[in-house]
C-alpha cells in the first residue's frame, strides 16, 4: 500500500510539472487576417460615423481604370488576388484591385458586364430577391475617354452610352443626391461593404469599410463625406481590396467582376 501511495504521489507531481511547463510555453501570435501594405497615393483612411474606411479618389487623367472578369484561359479570375497574380505575371501589377459586382455560383456576372467595349453579359432589369434586385440598382461604367459614371440601370438602358468597361450591381446607394429610399437610417444588417461613386469633380471614388457597417451609413459616407451625388453598392461580406498585390481588406474570397487600377502608360 505504501509503495502504491508513493507511486500515485510521484505520478501526480509529474502531471503537475507537465501542466506548468505547457502553460509557460511561448505562444505564437495569431496570423493576421490581411497583410499590411502601404496605400496608393490616391487612397487614404477615412473615419465616418465611428467606422474606418479606405477611400480612393481617382482622376481618369492619372490612372488607367478597368473592369476585368476573365483570365487569359477564358475562365473567371475567381478572386481579387488571382487577378493580381496574373497581371503581375504579365509585368503589370495593379496599384489597386477590388471586387466590382455580384455573381452567380459559377462566378458569371448577375448583370451587365462590358470589357474593352465588348458586352460579355446583358443588362439585367428583372425583379428578384437580394441586394442586386433592390430597385433602383445601377451601373458603374468607364467611357472610351476614361471618364467614369454611375447611373441607374433603367437610365443606362434608355441612354445606351458607349461604355468601354461596365459592371452592374445593386442597390444604388445615392441617387441624384438622395439616399436610396428603402434604406433604414442604420439598419441591423452589418457587413464589410464596398462601393463606387462619382464626386463633384467627376472623379471615380472607390471605398471599402474596414469593419461591418449598415447600408445607410455606407450611403451617407458617399453623399455626406465624399461628395458623390450618385454611388453604387458593389458587394458586402466578401469585399476585398488589394494594393500592389497585398491584401488590405478581405481575403481570397470568390469574386466575379473586378475593378483594377493601373498607372497610366
Q: What is the DSSP letter of 223?
A: I
Distance CA 246, CA 96 (A): 9
Between strands 96-99 and 258-263, the pairing is: antiparallel
Q: What is the residue whose three cell numbers read 455573381?
A: 103
Domain assignment present for 13: no
* pLDDT classification of 37: cutoffs 50, 70, 90: low
Instruction: Tell me the average pLDDT of the chain.
Output: 89
- Residue 193, classified by CB atoms within 10 Å of its CB into exposed (0-12), middle (13-18) or buried (19+), is buried
pLDDT of residue 38: 81
Domain assignment present for 8: no
Residue 137, C-alpha cell as written in the block: 440598382
Structural domain range at position 184: 39-263
Domain assignment present for 149: yes
Domain assignment present for 199: yes
Residue 118 has pLDDT above 60, yes or no: yes
Domain assignment present for 28: no
* pLDDT classification of 21: cutoffs 50, 70, 90: very low
pLDDT digits (tens, 9 = 90+) for 44-55: 999 999 999 999
Domain assignment present for 154: yes
Number of domains in the chain: 1
Residue 235 has pLDDT above 60, yes or no: yes
Domain assignment present for 69: yes
Q: What is the residue whose three cell numbers read 497610366?
A: 264
Residue 154, C-alpha cell as written in the block: 433603367
Distance CA 213, CA 66 (A): 27
Amino acid at each position: 500500500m505504501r509503495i502504491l501511495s508513493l507511486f500515485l504521489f510521484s505520478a501526480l507531481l509529474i502531471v503537475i510539472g507537465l501542466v506548468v511547463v505547457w502553460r509557460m510555453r511561448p505562444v505564437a501570435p495569431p496570423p493576421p487576417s490581411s497583410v499590411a501594405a502601404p496605400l496608393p497615393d490616391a487612397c487614404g483612411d477615412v473615419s465616418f460615423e465611428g467606422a474606418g474606411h479606405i477611400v480612393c479618389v481617382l482622376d481618369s487623367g492619372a490612372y488607367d481604370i478597368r473592369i476585368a472578369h476573365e483570365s487569359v484561359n477564358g475562365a473567371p479570375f475567381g478572386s481579387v488576388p488571382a487577378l493580381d497574380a496574373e497581371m503581375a505575371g504579365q509585368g503589370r501589377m495593379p496599384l489597386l484591385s477590388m471586387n466590382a459586382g455580384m455573381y452567380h455560383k459559377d462566378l458569371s456576372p448577375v448583370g451587365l458586364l462590358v470589357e474593352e467595349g465588348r458586352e460579355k453579359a446583358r443588362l439585367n432589369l428583372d425583379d428578384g430577391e437580394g441586394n442586386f434586385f433592390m430597385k433602383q440598382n445601377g451601373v458603374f461604367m468607364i467611357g472610351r475617354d476614361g471618364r467614369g459614371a454611375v447611373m441607374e440601370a433603367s437610365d443606362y438602358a434608355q441612354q445606351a452610352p458607349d461604355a468601354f468597361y461596365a459592371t452592374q450591381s445593386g442597390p444604388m446607394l445615392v441617387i441624384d443626391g438622395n439616399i436610396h429610399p428603402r434604406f433604414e437610417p442604420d439598419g441591423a444588417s452589418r457587413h464589410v461593404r464596398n462601393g463606387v461613386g462619382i464626386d463633384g469633380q467627376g472623379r471615380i471614388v472607390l471605398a471599402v469599410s474596414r469593419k461591418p457597417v449598415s447600408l445607410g451609413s455606407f450611403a451617407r459616407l458617399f453623399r455626406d463625406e465624399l461628395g458623390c451625388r450618385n454611388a453604387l453598392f458593389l458587394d458586402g461580406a466578401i469585399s476585398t481590396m488589394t494594393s500592389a498585390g497585398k491584401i488590405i481588406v478581405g481575403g481570397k474570397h470568390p469574386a466575379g467582376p473586378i475593378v483594377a487600377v493601373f498607372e497610366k502608360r
